[in-house]
Structure 1
Amino acid sequence: MLRAMDDFWVFGYGSLIWRPGFDFEERVKARLAGYHRSLCVRSFVHRGTPERPGLVFGLDRGGSCVGMAFRVRGAAREAVVEYLRARELVTHVYREQTLPVRLTDGRNTRALTYVVDRGHSQYAGRVTAEHAATLVRRSHGQSGPNVDYVTSALDHIREMGLRDRWLEDVVARL
């Protein structure tokens, strides 16, 4: 049973990888089974508008995803969860879940993460690289140009030693 003062983990698969926005004690590459990173969410706020939606990452069902797990002090739980909810649940396109992850050092733990709600109107599903590039190229939201988000994501995914050929194709089309 998780107690309020116990340290806890947060799993990041998109911009949380390079910009968590909260203090943490430890940062470890981790794998989440059963979900994959996908540019499948129409962004109406951070990287687009309702009139010109951008695309941002969601955890979609199937496969697995390598991302970053952040260990957070239990004493910071309330503030960090409040921050993450304000950041990730703006339009409720994500569902907050605590899921099992395997850290690259072999430890298994559970981590707070945000999974796309496939029934939400912002769920874009699978899009072609060409269509994704068109949406990304023309979109800008409160957090800046969608192009910056997507190219930064690819840079950080590569820094983790990972390849994402589909995302590479999208960026090449920008």
Structure 2
Amino acid sequence: MAVNGQQTTSNSACSDDEFWLFGYGSLIWKPPPHVDRRIPGWVTGYVRRFWQASQDHRGTPEAPGRVVTLIERSFWSSLVDSHASAPDKVWGVAYRIKASKVAEVKDYLDIREINGYTIHYTPFQPADGSVPIQTLVYIGTPDNEQFTGPQEPQALAEHIARSEGPSGLNRDYLLGLEKALNELSPESGDAHVTDLSDRVRAIEAAARGSKGTEDGGPKVSRVAESSPGSHDFHMATIVDTQEETEKV
């Protein structure tokens, strides 16, 4: 496997008998195939941000959505970000893949992560305090074409609220990530994700209120109707069998 055109062989999370993958986005609630162990925990040295465009899952080439990536904390600290603070721990989940399925899953992940993500390795600390695990992680680095950089939060929330792609509504990805993170641990929430989620909920509430006023009828909750997994919009590809393997 290659990162930025170079083979990554040192500190590999893959071996002949096991393979560990770190998920920090939709992988938290949409695991890859052939998982035989799931461990909540965190990595350090990074910041999670909705700074990666999505042309293939939560948007289209003509109207890209937004998904998360990891930013090296040292680089992030040099930027002007309206969300000026970030937790020291980026919570997520480590997955161990069955030994007999490692090659298959590696090929699957390579296919899934073609929209700007490259392979990296990072130590993962299990929440139960056990020994750290070296994990493979897909990251959309600042030099990839889909990286957007800092965005004004309200504009970003409005962009997410209106975006949709083959894997469904962009807001479902955001709200699904908020829910999945909050379920990992009492301390696993992410203020960046929660703020955007609150803004999207406010946008949806305003839209419902406006529609209710215009129609003179009851206000229907579009958020409830459009909960993760409820949409019928599909693309006849590998997306049908597994939602984005992260946007990670």
Q: Which runs of 4+ in 1 moved over 6 A?
A: none
**Match of residue 71 from structure 1:** 96
TM-score by length of 2: 0.65
2:67 maps to 1:42: no
**1:86-110 CA deviation, whole Å, 9 max, x = no partner?**
1122x2x111112221212321121
- The 3-state SS of whatever aligns with 2:35 is coil
**Match of residue 125 from structure 2:** 102
Report if the CA contact (8 A) 2:24-2:90 is conserved.
yes
2:29 maps to 1:29: no
Q: Return the match for 2:70 from 45, 59, 70.
A: 59
Q: Residues 75 and 172 (structure 1 numbering): CA distance in 2 closer, same or farther, change over 3 Å? A: same
Tell me whether 69-78 or 163-172 shows the greater mean CA deviation. Answer: 163-172
Look up the equivalent residue of 1:33 and give its one-letter code: T
CA radius of gyration, larger in: 2
Q: CA-atom RMSD, angstroms?
A: 1.7
Look up the equivalent residue of 1:41 and give its one-letter code: Q
- The 3-state SS of whatever aligns with 1:25 is strand
Unaligned runs of 5+ in 2: 1-10, 74-87, 201-248
Q: Return the match for 1:163 from 189, 208, 212.
A: 189
Look up the equivalent residue of 1:101 and give its one-letter code: F
Unaligned runs of 5+ in 1: none
Q: Note the C-alpha offset of 1:72.
A: 1.3
Q: Note the C-alpha offset of 1:4.
A: 4.2
Identity %: 32
Measured in 1, the distance between the counterparts of 2:105 and 2:54 equals 23
